[in-house]
Amino acid sequence: MKRVVVVGGGFGGLQAVRGLRRAADVEVTLVDRQNFHLFQPLAYQVATGGLSSAEIASPLRRVLRHQSNARVLLAEATGFDLEAREVTLDELPNGARSMTIPYDVLIVAGGSAYSYFGHDEWAEFAPELKTLQGALALRSRILSAFEAAEIETDAARRAAWLTFVVVGAGPTGVEMAGQIAELANDTLRHDFRSADPSGARVLLVEAADRVLGTFPPSLSRRAARSLESLGVTLALDTTVVDIADGTIDVQPRDGERSTIEARTVVWAAGVTASPLAGLLATASGSEVDRAGRILVDANLTLTGHPEIFAIGDMAAVRSAGGEAQRLPGVAPVAMQEGRHVARSIRDSKPEAFRYRDKGNLATIGRSHAVADVKGVHLWGFAAWVTWLAVHLAYLIGFENRLLVLTRWTFSYLTRGRTARVIHR
Amino acid sequence: MKRVVVVGGGFGGLQAVRGLRRAADVEVTLVDRQNFHLFQPLAYQVATGGLSSAEIASPLRRVLRHQSNARVLLAEATGFDLEAREVTLDELPNGARSMTIPYDVLIVAGGSAYSYFGHDEWAEFAPELKTLQGALALRSRILSAFEAAEIETDAARRAAWLTFVVVGAGPTGVEMAGQIAELANDTLRHDFRSADPSGARVLLVEAADRVLGTFPPSLSRRAARSLESLGVTLALDTTVVDIADGTIDVQPRDGERSTIEARTVVWAAGVTASPLAGLLATASGSEVDRAGRILVDANLTLTGHPEIFAIGDMAAVRSAGGEAQRLPGVAPVAMQEGRHVARSIRDSKPEAFRYRDKGNLATIGRSHAVADVKGVHLWGFAAWVTWLAVHLAYLIGFENRLLVLTRWTFSYLTRGRTARVIHR
């Protein structure tokens, strides 16, 4: 019996476990510090009141209940002993200090987190939404800002409560900026009496010269136009210099540094690999790249350790030539890698991984999205419907699909967002 | 223009606001420390993974968006100046220290909380579910206990993780005990590998000699039988003597005190009025009863203060004779009182309140409920369908009704509960 330990129940790890469901003589243990798989691409909708948390969080036990060769442990992996072939687990639910579990094959899929470019002190003032907790914290902040504006009598302070700055114009930043603008313009228009939410200012700050840098320039231009039509102000070629309580300092490439009074800042910029990548690199003598990702061979194993795979956002894959391939940190890459690893284990034949890019999607708001599907460019309503269909299809479970579709339908028809719990 | 201030957006307060929507020359301000109306009768389903939080939490602003004579303030009412006719507000969303708002008419509907019979130190070990936070905390505890049992190797400790004690056999306690038993027996049966969740023990402790003391004895017997068929052990005529970390001490009326090793204790016993009742009583020279409720005249105003109404769980209504009526602390009483107060204000004619009891419902689990509708007793499937219909009807908003109905349908068909996020 081959003991396979999978660390991380995100897109990569879960596909690896599922891919082993019919493998003979394999016993899989999935370790995650959360008891659910988060559908992270929709976390921004939890942050803006469109969806309730459980609607994008599938319990891992439930997803794997019929896979009798798999078990789930709720714990945090904190160390690897490559000699003894053991993983150390902490944060155990029974309060025990720690335990180790043995493996014959190890798959590490720890994902990534946002990086504050060495300014971890900014995190307090500018939360991110890689995690469900982050999304819920952001929701409370964004909605509380409108509540504060409603009772604030000083005009300057009210303006600061109604100023929202999103840092980073990748897909998540674009989605957040679009959603906040819609929240202010549509959803909250009738809900307030003193503050006029449509007086809200949404600023999207990006260091590069265009939004959605991974898309073709023509689609970036279309996305920028959609954002502007929603009332988002773009600050391109602009970097963030400082963030404090209630202010953010920005520096345009050819301009003066300026301070913006804003009570709500959303962080959607640089990404860094899970600390597990560094731990694994140290233990195995592997390299890490600038983003903290561990370099793995073309077959996704660690050099000198054919029994250890690293996949998803925390891994950078070497091509046959030896240099790192530039694969984007998106769910499809992680999922294909997870399935590839499962196949390698099942067939005991580790082959080189090749990513098949099926396309790139980003939504901006109601009826606005852009899509680049193998060179075919879509935008506007057509891209938006594609986006909806793809995201519904990849959500786990028919029940969650139906719940999310129900919410989206009501939201489309009424311009309402009803999952607006503030956790005070 | 008459300024009406309503404190509390629960069942009573919200009905009072809604009842004033066509009142001429009235300006309503609703103050609540949460930004949502909680449908508390279903909080136990959030606590047991059946529903997601936002599905029973309706944003107050959204509910009142078309009522142009009403505004909402997110703040906690902490004091009343009856001379100046002002309410003091704290916990303001803009971080200001406090503010006051003036009223011509004041309606206080602060609700109730669970009372630990003078043992507030038990709250840490035995959470309750009057609030959404409480329900979410309980969900994390209950689900984490199963997770702990899964990795626990010591048999005694594992048994303690799988022992659940519910204190108080009113409707909430009965519902919780039934749901935990179903969670263990049905939902989690296939989800664990080491621990056998059906080995879980669910104990319902009640000081009186029967469950559901407000129902006719014959329905109490039927409910007791349903609970036992679900695997719940009843400990009637038994009081709680002590609760500590991992243990609960109970004392049967004619037996020995004993200690039960249980990692999860749910508190659903004594209820106490909101502290606002005491504040208002002190300010106005009114009496409070043993449960901390303020005594109000038959027309729901404070004696000597025809401009102040107190309603719902925090008020005890005097009958014409002067002694307190014994109205149950349930949503229909609060709602009827809220509508009555709105009518009194609209017509400037405060009449005596009379509660019209439409019946009493409690559910025990899948296909099991009891109902006492004006002396007609229902039980089993018929009562259960009645329970479902009534609760769906009283949920606010068509969207939430559809979402909850979707979850219930899946849950009925698959015996699954998928809103199982543990907040660690």
- For residue B415, the chain A residue with the least C-alpha distance is A62
Say whether B152 and A421 touch across the interface (CB within 8 A). Answer: no
Say whether A71 and B400 touch across the interface (CB within 8 A). Answer: no
pLDDT at B406 over 90: yes
Rounded to a whole number of angstroms, the distance from the CA of A91 to the nearest CA of chain B is 9
Residues B301 and B410 in one domain: no
Residue A308 located in a structural domain: yes
Residue B329 located in a structural domain: yes
Closest residue to A421, CB basis, from B36, B66, B74? B36
Residues B260 and B278 in one domain: no
Quote the pLDDT of residue A186.
Answer: 81
CATH number at residue B376: 3.50.50.100
Chain A / chain B CB contacts < 8 angstroms? 167
Residues A261 and A162 in one domain: yes
Rounded to a whole number of angstroms, the distance from the CA of A52 to the nearest CA of chain B is 6
- For residue B414, the chain A residue with the least C-alpha distance is A399
Quote the pLDDT of residue A129.
Answer: 86
Residues B338 and B370 in one domain: no
Residues of A in contact with B416 (CB under 8 A): 62, 399
Quote the pLDDT of residue B5.
Answer: 98
Residues B304 and B393 in one domain: no
Catalytic, out of B175, B182, B206, B337 = B175
Residue B328 located in a structural domain: yes
Residues of A in contact with B419 (CB under 8 A): 54
Residues of A in contact with B190 (CB under 8 A): 65-66
Q: Which of B347, B378, B401 finishes a domain? A: B347
Q: How many domains does chain B have?
A: 2
Residue A225 located in a structural domain: yes
Rounded to a whole number of angstroms, the distance from the CA of B53 to the nearest CA of chain A is 7
Residues of A in contact with B399 (CB under 8 A): 406-407, 410, 416, 418
Say whether B95 and A53 touch across the interface (CB within 8 A). Answer: no
Which residues, given as ranges, of chain A have pLDDT below 70? none
Q: Identify the residue among A46, A63, A131, A151 best suited for mutation to test binding to B, counting B beta carbons within 10 A and taking the highest.
A: A151
Residues B308 and B395 in one domain: no
- For residue A70, the chain B residue with the least C-alpha distance is B193
Residues of A in contact with B72 (CB under 8 A): 150
- For residue A411, the chain B residue with the least C-alpha distance is B399
CB contact burial B92-121 (16+ within 10 A = b; e otherwise): bbbebeebebebebbbbbbbbbbbbeeeee
In whole angstroms, how far apart are CA B310 and each of A58, B39, B338?
A: 43, 20, 9
Quote the pLDDT of residue B109.
Answer: 98
Q: Has B182 been annotated as catalytic? A: no
Of B407 and A186, the one with more pLDDT: B407
Rounded to a whole number of angstroms, the distance from the CA of A160 to the nearest CA of chain B is 11
Quote the pLDDT of residue B246.
Answer: 96
Rounded to a whole number of angstroms, the distance from the CA of B210 to the nearest CA of chain A is 35
- Please choose, from the candidates B323, B390, B337, the residue with its C-alpha nearest in 3D space to the C-alpha of residue B360: B390
Say whether A94 and B152 touch across the interface (CB within 8 A). Answer: yes
Say whether A54 and B57 touch across the interface (CB within 8 A). Answer: no
Quote the pLDDT of residue A105.
Answer: 98
Residues of B in contact with A141 (CB under 8 A): none
Catalytic, out of A55, A128, A152, A175 = A175
Strand spans (E) along A212-320: 232-235, 238-244, 247-252, 258-261, 264-267, 271-273, 294-296, 301-302, 305-310, 315-317
Residue B168 located in a structural domain: yes
Rounded to a whole number of angstroms, the distance from the CA of A112 to the nearest CA of chain B is 19
Residue B166 located in a structural domain: yes
- Please choose, from the candidates A144, A147, A143, A223, the residue with its C-alpha nearest in 3D space to the C-alpha of residue A183: A143
Q: Which of A297, A318, A347 finishes a domain? A: A347
Say whether B94 and A157 touch across the interface (CB within 8 A). Answer: yes
Residue A354 located in a structural domain: no
Residues B252 and B309 in one domain: no
- For residue B420, the chain A residue with the least C-alpha distance is A59
- For residue A147, the chain B residue with the least C-alpha distance is B93
Residues A28 and A135 in one domain: no
Token pair recorded at residue B257: 């005190």
Task: Determine how β-strand A360-365 pairs with β-strand A238-244.
Answer: unpaired
Residues of B in contact with A161 (CB under 8 A): 94
Residues B150 and B178 in one domain: yes
Quote the pLDDT of residue B326.
Answer: 81
Q: Is B227 helix (H, G, I), strand (E, B) or coil?
A: helix
Q: Residue A142 belongs to what domain range?
A: 121-269+360-414
In whole angstroms, how far apart are CA B67 and each of A193, B16, B18, B30, B346?
A: 11, 13, 8, 12, 15
Residue B410 located in a structural domain: yes
The secondary structure of A200-232 as a DSSP string is: -EEEEE-SSSSSSTTS-HHHHHHHHHHHHHTTE
Say whether B194 and A92 touch across the interface (CB within 8 A). Answer: no
Q: Per-residue confidence at B310, pLDDT binned at 50, 70, 90? A: very high
* β-sheet bridge partners, residue B90: B76
Quote the pLDDT of residue A424.
Answer: 80
Mean pLDDT of B91-104: 95
Rounded to a whole number of angstroms, the distance from the CA of A36 to the nearest CA of chain B is 6
- For residue A143, the chain B residue with the least C-alpha distance is B35
Closest residue to B419, CB basis, from A49, A54, A74? A54
Say whether A151 and B75 touch across the interface (CB within 8 A). Answer: yes
Q: Identify the residue among B421, B422, B423, B424 best suited for mutation to test binding to A, counting A beta carbons within 10 A and taking the highest.
A: B421
Task: Determine how β-strand A105-108 pairs with β-strand A57-59.
Answer: unpaired
Q: Per-residue confidence at B196, pLDDT binned at 50, 70, 90? A: confident
pLDDT at B278 over 80: yes
Quote the pLDDT of residue B378.
Answer: 94
Provide φ and ψ at B286, rounded to 5°: -85, 165
Residues A174 and A322 in one domain: no
Quote the pLDDT of residue A40.
Answer: 95
Residues of A in contact with B152 (CB under 8 A): 94
Residue by residue, what is the 3-state secondary structure of A85-148?
CEEEEECCCCCCCCEEEECCEEEECCCEEECCCCCHHHHHCCCCCCCHHHHHHHHHHHHHHHHH
Closest residue to B399, CB basis, from A72, A193, A418? A418
pLDDT tens digits, A213-231: 999 999 999 999 999 999 9
Name residue A180's amino acid: I
Residues of chain B above pLDDT 70, percent: 100
Of B51 and A195, the one with more pLDDT: B51
C-alpha B55/C-alpha A418 separation (Å) is 9
Residues B201 and B239 in one domain: yes
Cβ burial of B163 (10 Å; 0-12, 13-18, 19+) is buried
Rounded to a whole number of angstroms, the distance from the CA of B10 to the nearest CA of chain A is 15
Contact by Cβ (8 Å): B45, B145: no
Q: Per-residue confidence at B195, pLDDT binned at 50, 70, 90? A: confident
Residues of A in contact with B147 (CB under 8 A): 35, 74, 93-94
Residues A248 and A326 in one domain: no
CATH number at residue A279: 3.50.50.60
Say whether A36 and B420 touch across the interface (CB within 8 A). Answer: yes
Quote the pLDDT of residue B319.
Answer: 85
C-alpha A161/C-alpha A146 separation (Å) is 7
Quote the pLDDT of residue B112.
Answer: 95
Mean pLDDT of B241-264: 96
Q: Identify the residue among B139, B163, B403 best suited for mutation to test binding to A, counting A beta carbons within 10 A and taking the highest.
A: B403
Q: Which of B288, B318, B347 finishes a domain? A: B347
Rounded to a whole number of angstroms, the distance from the CA of A63 to the nearest CA of chain B is 9
Mean pLDDT of B299-313: 97
The pTM (predicted TM-score) of the whole model is: 0.94
Say whether B73 and A151 touch across the interface (CB within 8 A). Answer: yes
Q: Identify the residue among B33, B36, B52 best suited for mutation to test binding to A, counting A beta carbons within 10 A and taking the highest.
A: B52
Say whether A144 and B193 touch across the interface (CB within 8 A). Answer: no
Say whether B421 and A54 touch across the interface (CB within 8 A). Answer: yes
- For residue A144, the chain B residue with the least C-alpha distance is B93
- For residue B71, the chain A residue with the least C-alpha distance is A193
Q: Identify the residue among B51, B151, B188 best suited for mutation to test binding to A, counting A beta carbons within 10 A and taking the highest.
A: B151
pLDDT tens digits, A72-100: 999 999 999 999 999 999 999 999 989 99
Residues of A in contact with B424 (CB under 8 A): 33-34, 91
* β-sheet bridge partners, residue B32: B74
Residues of A in contact with B133 (CB under 8 A): 423
Quote the pLDDT of residue A350.
Answer: 86
